[in-house]
Chain A
């Protein structure tokens, strides 16, 4: 990464104490800190949206596993029928 240094133009003043005071906000900082460390209030199973999403995932997994099992059963039966038809 290239670094380019520039002498600040004379008209461009550094921030004054009043400028800094406008941006300084200790309460906002403490609020952000509390938000960052706070644990989620509701557990996943009590959140309706999260619960529904979880239910859908479980249902989908159950359907897929059922379909997979049926496909395996069909696969086991297939070689015998092929042998019978061969001669």
Chain B
């Protein structure tokens, strides 16, 4: 589905909810995976995903495209749903797939063996919430900087700069001590 097609479906969905189905089919997998890595349980993930799409449908009249893909808006809603789910928790566990961890270790410039990947996961846990979220969205969920900005409510340049800083801090944590 290209951007123009997406806009057509969005316009159609505003007038009749049945026309939301192609958008749901297109982005269900992305949102499901996004939530699953943060909620772990598949049934719970299915409920949160359903809730995300329901809120998107209800909020469609207020949605302004601004030239960005619809999925960034969906990620933002999903993140709010997760925040509500996490509200009463002291600790949150986030799963990092091997492939994503390798991609991140390549970006940082560290080895890709199992020991290094575990150290990378530990270093990520040391980052503050805002910085770790930037890394997650960029390297695990594969969002562009523009999408990242839309999800977090900041500009594209700010998203780029903050991600760069977060990567720098990760490198510091992973560098061997004196």
Contact = CB atoms under 8 A, between A and B. Distances in A.
A5 B117 contact: no
Contacts of A20: 28-29, 32
Interface residues of B, number: 41
A3 B140 CA distance: 15
A15 B32 contact: yes
Interface stretch (B48-56, B144-152, B158-166): B48-56
Given A5-B124, A26-B24, A33 B57 contact: yes
B2 interface: no
B93 to A, nearest CB: 5
Interface stretch (A6-14, A43-51, A52-60, A75-83): A6-14
B94 A6 contact: yes
B62 interface: no
A1 B91 contact: yes
A29 interface: yes
Contacts, number: 100
B132 interface: yes
A24 interface: yes
A39 B24 CA distance: 25
B25 A3 contact: no
A26 B20 CA distance: 9
Given A7-B121, A24-B28, A30 B20 contact: yes
A19 B50 CA distance: 15
Contact of A33 (B28, B54, B96): B54
B17 A3 contact: no
Determine which residue in A3, A6, A28 has the highest number of CB atoms from chain B within 10 A of its CB, and name it.
A3
Contacts of A71: none
B87 to A, nearest CB: 9
B36 A15 contact: yes
Interface string A54-78: 0000000000000000000000000
A8 B97 contact: yes
Contacts of B17: 30, 33-34
Given A3-B129, A3-B132, A14-B33, A29 B92 contact: no
B50 A29 contact: yes
A1 B98 contact: no
